[in-house]
Structures are given as C-alpha cells and as structure tokens.
Amino acid sequence: MQIKNANPPIRVTGRHVSVTEAMKEYCRRKVATLHLDYPKIIEVQVILDVQKYRHQAEVILHCSNHITIEARAECNDMYASIDQVVDRVARQMRKCKTRLMKNHRPKKLRQLENRIVRWDWIDAAAEFAADNGETPVEEEAVREIVHREKRPVKPMSPDEAVLQMELSPKQFLVFLNSQTDKVNVLYRRKKGDFGLIEPAFS
C-alpha cells in the first residue's frame, strides 16, 4: 500500500525552552504515526513552549488543498503535552477527512455555503465587535496599533474557508476568494455560524 504522507518535513522549534535532540526525535516519532491518515501532509511544524510549570506543545500541519490543521495541548510535562497534541491533531485529521468526503457532493457544499452570513465592511465590523462583547466600531475610542504580523493569503472558496475554520481554534481567517479573486475575511459568530466580510467599492 502506498503511504501518501511518507516523510514530510518536520520542524521542531522552542519558545522559552532549549529543544534537545531527544525532544526532537520524540516529536518526529509521534508525528510519524500520522502518516497513514488523511489528508496529505506537506509540512509539519511542532512548537514547544515552557512558561513556569506549563509545558505547551503545538502542532501545525500544512496539508494539500490549502488545508491547515492546528492543535495545542498543555500539561506539567512536555512529553505528555506532545502525546496529547498528536492525539488531538489525529482527531482533527479524521474530522477533516469525514467533512471532505461529505462536502464533495454539490448539495452538501451548498448547505455549507448557507452557514455563511454576508456583510459589508462596516456592518461586519460592528457585528464582529458585538459578538465579542466589544464596543461597536463607531463608538470605540481611537487606539494605536501595537502589533503587526504578516500572514499568507491562500486562494480558496468560501466553503473551503469554512472547513478550514472548523479545523482551527482561530476566530477569523483571511483568504483570497477563488470565486471573486478578492480578499475576504471569514469569522466566527456566537450563533455557531460564520460571517463573511467582502470588499465593496462605491
């Protein structure tokens, strides 16, 4: 039988901790157990972090079809955290496979698309603030930008973006809508569905 995910590059890095060769090898052996699952893994990032008594392990799988799967775990022992995070990411992979198989049918894709509530920029910003218990944009005091970061904007359809959000703990996703060739923002709403911010030029 052909192993689709054989030997993807695995990068193990540390924050506030020196990552030993023993830790790296343990991470590689644990990640190797994911190779027979689905979807196809292109690259693996393992991030280990220690803050006081908290040992956190994070795994990010960069997969085919613009899919990124993320999981985190935290224990008082780093090796236990690695065990837990690999178990969690394996469950995410199985969940991804199930959803992809269901969503390949056009009817299912339409149902997935129907979970998205579309807004223009102003209404979406106010709705996002309300969902997160914040003051609406127009009433917010002027604040400075204290953090900047750059993220890759991947091309995908809105239904692929929804699938990506369901596989990630993040609250929003910036992506290039493959149907319109415009940058969109998909975010979680309290009701369990998603809001889509689309650019509109007057």
The whole domain housing 52 covers 10-103
Could you tell me the pLDDT band of residue 48, with boundaries at 50, 70 and 90? very high
- How many C-beta neighbours within 10 Å does residue 84 have? 16
178 pLDDT more than 50: yes
CATH number at residue 188: 3.30.505.50
* pLDDT at 140 (0 to 100): 47
pTM metric for this prediction: 0.57
Are residues 125 and 163 in contact, defined by beta-carbon separation less than 8 angstroms?
Answer: no
Could you tell me the pLDDT band of residue 6, with boundaries at 50, 70 and 90? low
Residue 152 lies in a domain: yes
Residue 81 lies in a domain: yes
* pLDDT at 129 (0 to 100): 60
β-bridge mates for residue 175, sequence order: 184
Are residues 89 and 61 in contact, defined by beta-carbon separation less than 8 angstroms?
Answer: yes
Residue 5 lies in a domain: no
Average pLDDT over residues 28-37: 78
User: Which of 137 and 68 is assigned the larger pLDDT?
Assistant: 68
* pLDDT at 103 (0 to 100): 56
